Structure formats: C-alpha cells, structure tokens
Chain A
Amino acid sequence: MEVLFLQLFNGISVSSILLLIALGLAITFGLMNVINMAHGELIMIGAYSTYVTQNIFMDLFPESMFGWYFVLAIPVSFLIAFVIGLILEFTLIRFLYGRPLDSLLATWGVALVLQQLARTIFGAPNVGVTSPSWLNGGLTVLDGVVFPYKRLFIIALVAVTLFIMYLYIYRSNAGRRMRAVMQNRDMAACLGVSTRRVDALTFAIGSGIAGIAGCALTLLGPIGPSLGTYYIVDAFMVVVLGGVGKLIGTVFGALGIGVTSTVFEFWTTASLGKVLVFVCIVAFLQWRPRGLVAMRTRQLDS
C-alpha cells in the first residue's frame, strides 16, 4: 500500500516535470511545427536566471528576505527566456518556418553555442541553488509515506501554468489569433491578423515556459550548462505521444510516460525501464500514429 502510494506520487511528480518541459515544446513544436532543439538550453537559461536571482538576493537583501527569492525567480526566469526566445525567433527561426527538419539542425547549433556561452560565463562545473526554507520538509500522508513539499510545489506550479496557458490560448483574443494563424495562416492573414507578430509572440511564450521549467528544476538538484539535454528527448516523446495541436494531449502524454517509466523502473532497472517505455511508445504509435489526441483534419499530409 505504502509502496503503491509512493510510486504513484513519484510517477505524478516525474510527469509534472516532463509536462512543464513539454508544455513549451507543445507550443513551439505542436502549434508552430518548429523543432526547437535549443529548448533544453532555454531551460538552462531559466535555471541560471534563478541562480543569479538567488545570488542577488544573498548580496543585497537581509537574510530574512532570502526565502522569498524563489517567488521572484519564477517571473524573472520566464522573462529572460521570453526575451531570448524573441531574439531567437527574430534572427533565426523565422527563416525556418515550414522546414521542420532544418529547424532541428539549426537550433541544435544554437544549443551548442548557448551551452558553450553558459560554460564561459558560469564555468563548466554544476552550481547549486539553495532552495528556500519553506520548501524543505514534506507532507506526511501515512506512516512512512512523505510527499516532499518541493515536489508538491512543482506539481502546483505545473497546474497553475497549465491553467494560465489554457486561459491564454482558448479564452483570450491573443490566443484566438494564435490558433487562427496556426490552423490557417493565409486565411488569418487575409482577415488582418499580423502573422509575423503572432509567430514571434508564440515562440517567445513557448521559450518563456521553458524558463519556468528551468526555475523548477533548480529545486531538484544542482544545475549545469548541459542541464537541458537530459530532458529534451523525453519531452519531445511526450509531445509525439500526446499528439500535436492540443494541450490536453500533452498532459496525457506526460502522465503516460511519467507513470509508466516510474513503474517499469521500479520493476526492472533504470536502463531496462527506459527501453521498455520506448517499446511501449513505438507500440502505441502503431495503434495511433498521430498520438493520443490528434487534430481532426482531412488534409492528406499534415
């Protein structure tokens, strides 16, 4: 019973991290069809932003304030990643719309440069971020079953991010424009939507969410220049499994991969578990090649 609870919680916790990383991808890849391999590096930028925020708090503010740095770090990470995403879109990505495979290669190059930049600025070794004291400890559910506050906080953060994104995409004017451009670019342009601006904004929002993910990752361990590369392929698998174009698919994809991989890794070893999850994904795609939730379309190629 305890084991079951703990595994379920671990599974959801892993899923929440995957989801947070995949949410940004769901936008850039799912809606814009750009394979952003530098997404992992945007996560890394978010994580380093948190690190810098922490250092500034340590230097400038009294110790009693220190615990609150994390509250500020979340919007700061978002903003910095947002701006860098905007710059990236403006200088590079806009040449690559409609060429997904080329965008993959070009952004991989960007990823290399950003990693090396981080290594030059912050040094190659990992740096630690002290998590605020109010996130230490955990919630005791049963005897011997403790849910750490950090994990709970991440789950809550994901839920809030997801909710805000839902409001933005499905309940705001900007979101409606975004969906219009992604579904039928020419028609949206004819009706007066500035597709260039929507593209730039959409990509930047996807990048900003990567920044939030980076901020959350600092709670789980030390961060380094190659932080993002550990998660990026898994996150892409989430989007592929979940299906492209709808947020809910990404949520299910993340839950599916997170829970199954925890279960398999509990039953077997970590490396075998990964193999089994991959086999499951390929098997699943036999049944539904477009992922769990696919946009209905009558187009032959989409």
Chain B
Amino acid sequence: MQLRTLTPQRIYILIGYAVAATALFCAPLYLNDFRLNLLAKFLAFAIVALGLDLIWGYTGILSLGHGVFFGLGAYAMAMYLKLEASGGRLPDFMEWSGLASLPLFWKPFESFGFAVAAGLLIPALLALFLGYFTFRNRIKGVYFTILTQALVIITTTLFIGQQALTGGTNGLTGFSTLFGTPLAGEGMKHTLYYVTAVLLIAAFVLCRFIVKSRFGKVLRAVRDGENRARFIGYNPAVYQMVVFSISGALAGLAGMLFVLHVGIISPSMMGIVPSIEMVLWVAIGGRGTLVGAALGAILMNAAKSVFSENYPDAWLFFLGLLFVIVVVFLPKGLVGLFSRITFRKREESEEHEAAAAISHPAVRAGNG
C-alpha cells in the first residue's frame, strides 16, 4: 500500500527524514560538548512543539499554558534529582526555610520510576481536568486561551509562594548524579542526548500516528467545524480533552528531559513568556505540520542562542517583529513557505479548493 503512493515527492520527504535522523544521531561526532548540550535542550523543546501542534495545528485550540505542563514535568524530575543529590538528608532549601522533615508529597519522588510516571501523568491529568471543565461547557477559542494563561499565572505564583516546598523563585537546582553517575560527565551527556533524540523521534512517530488515524481526522473535523462534527454524532469535548492531555504529557516529558540537560528549573521557565514562545516555535515552523513544529522549535532556539547572547536588546525587537510578520504574512510558517515554493502547483490547486469551500456561506457562519 505504501508503494502505491510512492510519488517523487514522497521519496524526497522520506529522504529528508533519513537525513534528519542521521544528522541527529551523528551530532555527537561533529559538535562539541557545549553545543551538543544546547542541541539536546532544543530537541526537548521540539517535543513540546509537537504536543502544541497537536492541539493548535490539528484541533484548533490555542493553549498558552504549556509552560505549566512543561514545568510540572520538569519539577517532577528535579525533585528526584534533588533527593538523590541530597543523599538522604533534607534538601538544602528546605533547611533554609526551616522545615524539619521531608514533606509527605516529596517522599515518593525518591523512586525514579515514580518521578517519571508523575512527570507524565500529572501534566496529563491537569490538562484533562482543565479540559473537562472547559470543553464540556463549550468554553473554547479565545476564552479557553485566556483561562490557560490564567493557569500559568496562578501556577507560577503558587510555586514562588511556597518557598519551603518548591524552592521559590530560585527553583530547584544543584543536582549531581543520576543513578550514581555524574550528570556533567561526558558519557552521561552523550547518553542523555541519545535518549532525547530517540524520545523525540518516538514522539514524532506517535503524533504522526495520531494525526493519520481516524482519531486525527476527527480532530481536524472539530477544528474546521466543531458544530458539524457534533451534528454528525461525535462528541468534540472528548476528543479535545484527550488530545489536550496527550499534549500536556508530551510537554511534561520535554520538561523532564530539559531538567536533565540544563540542571535547573525555576518558576520563570514556566511563566507566561516561555509559554508564548513555545507557541511561536510552532507558528514559525508551520502549524498543522509536525515537521514544521519540531523544526521551528529547533531553529528558533538556535537563532535565539546565537543572537540573544550577542545582541540581547535587538533580539527582543526581532522576536516581536517576527511574531507580527509570521502571524500576518506567513500563517503556515516556514514549512508553508517552503512548500509554496517547491510544490507550487499542487498547493495552488489545494488552496483553490479550500477557498471555494470556505466561501460557502454555511461554513462561514459555522466558523464565525
């Protein structure tokens, strides 16, 4: 069946995947340790971008709360690492805050398995919870977006406020080892890099599977005409909740990897600005295409680390303008631009069809 659809374009795309995968796995050969660590961080961000693309690009829900899911995953891993670094004693910041014994909810994080499970499940459940109370009541679009933004604000204030339990503004840092091996060691860095690369590919395959499945078709149906999907007999709320919590879990996974690479997590890394930046990665790469989202995250962060070190002031101007330009002129992002240049003809005919479909008054009213 695959062979039947093996058009030249498909072959190019497959070659592209192969080149990308090879480049990923050979990166330790041609990058120094510092760059490799940066790349590993970007790959973790690419996982968040994939999750965001699932809900924004494919389901049409804009979440500005992914910083929270990312942060919860990161904190789960950080708690494990902190306990391992403290070696059975009370973590240092708790001593400073005058806590006598380890709080009850910290105890299970002594186990690596529990920490990983928590890093995936807590964001997923929070997303499911929020989704249940919003999508079920058809709170959607802008309202949902604003609620997710409020979620970010209260989570960060809560984390900053509970100094003794979460490390406050400083967050959690000062990790030393993972399974007894120093985190800063070269072997460890390489292993972590490979783990991240494999997980990114796994996340990509998972998202692709979701998108190509029947489930993914319903997601797109919900995006393009929620009420139509409802009238056909699907319950959009269920699909929205499920995809939102998958997306949250992916962000949590990325957060865990992020902590392993960077060695610190603080409330400022899960705040409003990082959350919106995550959306920008997807917008720039191209929403509605998985490759675009992942590439957008990697490229934007590479650009950021190059420019913002040299010209921190100009970087913010640039970022702001980029936001405006991409949203107004490139709604499909870089991938859209690229495919418009290469597959011009095909794209044009597709756009023609899309335009014809949208100009139908019933659809326009339905989406208004």
A residues near B, CB below 8 A? 29, 33, 35, 92, 95-96, 98, 100-102, 104-106, 108-113, 115-116, 119-120, 229, 233, 236-237, 240, 269-272, 274-275, 278, 281-282, 285-286, 289, 299-302
- Name the CB-closest residue of A to B130: A282
- B320 pairs with A112, CB closer than 8 A: yes
Tell which of B96-104, B148-156, B348-356 binds the partner.
B148-156
Q: Is the CB of A101 within 8 A of B150?
A: no
B220: min CB distance to chain A, Å: 17
A274 to B145, Cβ gap below 8 A?
no
Contact B320 A116 (CB under 8 A): yes
CB-based nearest B residue for A112: B320
State the CA gap A285–B138 with chains docked (Å): 10
Is residue B239 within 8 Å, beta carbon to beta carbon, of the partner chain? Answer: no
Give the most central of A92, A233, A281: most B CB within 10 Å.
A233
Assess A109 versus B319: contact at CB under 8 Å? Given A272-B158, A272-B161.
Answer: yes
* B323 contacts A108, C-beta separation under 8 Å: yes
Beyond A33-B142, A275-B154, 12 additional pairs, beta carbon < 8 A: A96-B328, A104-B62, A104-B142, A105-B276, A108-B276, A109-B327, A116-B317, A119-B313, A233-B153, A237-B146, A301-B227, A301-B366
Known: A116-B320, A300-B366. A278 touches B150 (CB 8 A): yes
B303-325 interface code vs A (CB 8 A; 1 in, 0 out): 00000000001001101111110
CB distance from B10 to the nearest CB of A (A): 31
B328 adjacent to A270 (CB under 8 Å): no
Contact A278 B151 (CB under 8 A): yes
Return chain B residues, CB-CB under 8 Å to A299: 365, 368
- Measured in the bound complex, the distance between the Cα atoms of B317 and A111 in whole Å is 10
Within the complex, which residue of A96, A102, A233 is in contact with B272, where a contact is CB–CB below 8 Å? A233
Residues of B within 8 Å of A281, CB to CB, are 147, 150
Docked complex Cα distance between A119 and B145 (Å): 28
Indicate if B86 sits at the interface (CB-CB under 8 A): no
* A106 neighbours in B (Cβ, 8 Å): 323-324, 327-328
Q: Indicate whether B331 reaches chain A with its CB closer than 8 angstroms.
A: yes
Interchain nearest-CB distance for A247 vs B (Å) = 19
**What number of B residues sit within 8 Å (CB to CB) of A?**
46
Q: What residues of A have a CB within 8 angstroms of the CB of B160 in the complex?
A: 271
Does B139 lie within 8 Å of A104, measured CB to CB? no
Which residues of B122-143 have CB atoms within 8 Å of chain A's CB atoms?
130, 133-134, 137-139, 141-143
Q: CA of A108 to CA of B324 in the docked complex: distance in angstroms?
A: 8
**Is A112 in contact with B368, judged by CB distance below 8 angstroms?**
no
A240 engages B143 (CB within 8 Å): yes
Q: Are B320 and A111 in contact (CB under 8 A)?
A: yes
Complex CA gap A38/B139 in Å reads: 24
B157 at the interface (CB under 8 A from A): yes
B362 CB, nearest partner CB in chain A, Å: 11
Residues in B whose Cβ lies below 8 Å from that of A119: 313
Rounded to whole Å, the gap between the CB of A31 and the closest CB of chain B is 14
List the B side residues contacting A289 at CB < 8 Å: 137-139, 143
User: In the complex where A92-B324, A285-B139, A300-B227 touch, is A105 in contact with B147 (Cβ < 8 A)?
Assistant: no
Bound CA–CA A272/B323 (angstroms): 34
The smallest C-beta distance from B229 to any residue of chain A, in angstroms, reads 12
Q: Are A105 and B272 in contact (CB under 8 A)?
A: no
